[in-house]
Structure 1
């Protein structure tokens, strides 16, 4: 084994150790992750904003035409800050179901079911909290049918329906005059030519992530992106 390969293995082991240590150490800290800001510029006082709570199945792609960054993992429940007034939210609904039976080498062990992009326009009221409301499928067959005929509402803190989602027509509504830019404290993949070694590291990180609970995931992301 060459010195180069020894160095690669050593760096990989150190990186995994630091990552795991971060998950463990931060699990005991506050698990509150800052809300995802959906506009460009300075933060706005909470009295002028609303919050949209999205479960892990909902992948918010853009708000008011501004694309949000890609997070480390796409199954996190996240809270999005919305400026008061109309906000167009573009999202997809995505679920993962384990395959039954024998899985061949190289074949995915899961079924990924995802809707086409959906759109919902929320007339956000300052200080209000909104969330997605839908009947979650209980098995893969139901998930496939649900994805083909997706239906979801946005409800306020009193469970009143304030908006209904529809299939997105590909057009973004310019409903606000505030300049915006991609946000979300995202970390994009670095370097298109990822080596086999780094791909293996990514696989191991995903495995560690799969074993972490939601509080540990939030704590890790807070540490990684602060």
Structure 2
């Protein structure tokens, strides 16, 4: 039987606690570096679990172990560029062979949307949602999402991403969960993610067996 160190178990267990906390109330990830004056009243972009934000203003965003986390992204007022994919997961029907995935994963090609964010304004993704896997498969190649304000005003629509950012210099994000203490959520989470990344495949499999026992 595989041996999983106590430290590894504790670290990943703590990661799960952090992620569950994020899932229960959408965490906010600020997408700028330092403390610019505009950060006092940022815009917020709400991303549902099906939207996987890859980068904001040329800076890669954190990838979480749980795919369907709803996250809020703090944006500085002014021009913003968001690269993302649309990803849905559908349970397979019938018997699943040993070792075969139990779900169908459908993901769009990267999309980009650029818009001028206004201070204190909340934006969200709006898109056609499929009711079943067949619909998801038929729409994924032509997928596009709109960015709308809380009152329904459409400010931008996404297009296929060509890999060229309008931001020459990426801005390092500072993940921060909104809360009374205002403490950054990224520091501990990044450390835990680093432990997971350094774990061997054998350790990962052993942990997953242990987690679901």
The answer to whether the Cα contact below 8 Å between 1:47 and 1:127 also exists between their aligned partners in 2 is: no
The answer to whether the Cα contact below 8 Å between 2:106 and 2:137 also exists between their aligned partners in 1 is: yes
Q: Cα deviations across residues 172-212 of structure 1 (Å, max 9, x unaligned)? A: 1128x7x6125542434431x6142432213554x59xxxx
The answer to whether the Cα contact below 8 Å between 1:67 and 1:183 also exists between their aligned partners in 2 is: no
The answer to whether the Cα contact below 8 Å between 2:28 and 2:71 also exists between their aligned partners in 1 is: yes
Pick aligned residue for 1:133 from 126, 132, 138: 126
Which residue number corresponds to residue 200 of structure 2? 194
- For the residues of structure 2 that align with 1:135 and 1:63, how far apart are their CA atoms? 23
- For the residues of structure 2 that align with 1:146 and 1:204, how far apart are their CA atoms? 38
Q: Cα deviations across residues 30-59 of structure 1 (Å, max 9, x unaligned)? A: x54541011222376655310000000000
Q: Normalising by structure 2, what TM-score? A: 0.77
- For the residues of structure 2 that align with 1:183 and 1:147, how far apart are their CA atoms? 31
Secondary structure of 1:137's partner?
A: coil
Q: Which has the larger radius of gyration?
A: 1
Which residue number corresponds to residue 99 of structure 2? 106
- For the residues of structure 2 that align with 1:86 and 1:57, how far apart are their CA atoms? 24
Q: CA deviation at 1:114?
A: 0.2
Secondary structure of 2:197's partner?
A: coil
- For the residues of structure 2 that align with 1:162 and 1:197, how far apart are their CA atoms? 46
Q: Normalising by structure 1, what TM-score? A: 0.73
Pick aligned residue for 2:172 from 181, 197, 220: 181
Change (3 A) 1:159 1:61: same
- For the residues of structure 2 that align with 1:115 and 1:21, how far apart are their CA atoms? 27
- For the residues of structure 2 that align with 1:22 and 1:152, how far apart are their CA atoms? 31
How many matched pairs? Answer: 194
- For the residues of structure 1 that align with 2:13 and 2:53, how far apart are their CA atoms? 30
Which region of structure 1 is more displaced relative to structure 2, 40-49 or 133-142?
40-49
Indicate yes or no: 2:75 matched with 1:82.
yes
Which residue number corresponds to residue 172 of structure 1? 165
Secondary structure of 2:137's partner?
A: helix
Change (3 A) 1:180 1:20: closer
The answer to whether the Cα contact below 8 Å between 2:29 and 2:173 also exists between their aligned partners in 1 is: no
- For the residues of structure 1 that align with 2:75 and 2:125, how far apart are their CA atoms? 14
The answer to whether the Cα contact below 8 Å between 1:61 and 1:90 also exists between their aligned partners in 2 is: yes
Q: Cα RMSD over matched residues?
A: 3.2
Change (3 A) 1:80 1:14: closer
Give unpaired runs (5+ residues) of structure 2: 176-185
Secondary structure of 1:190's partner?
A: helix
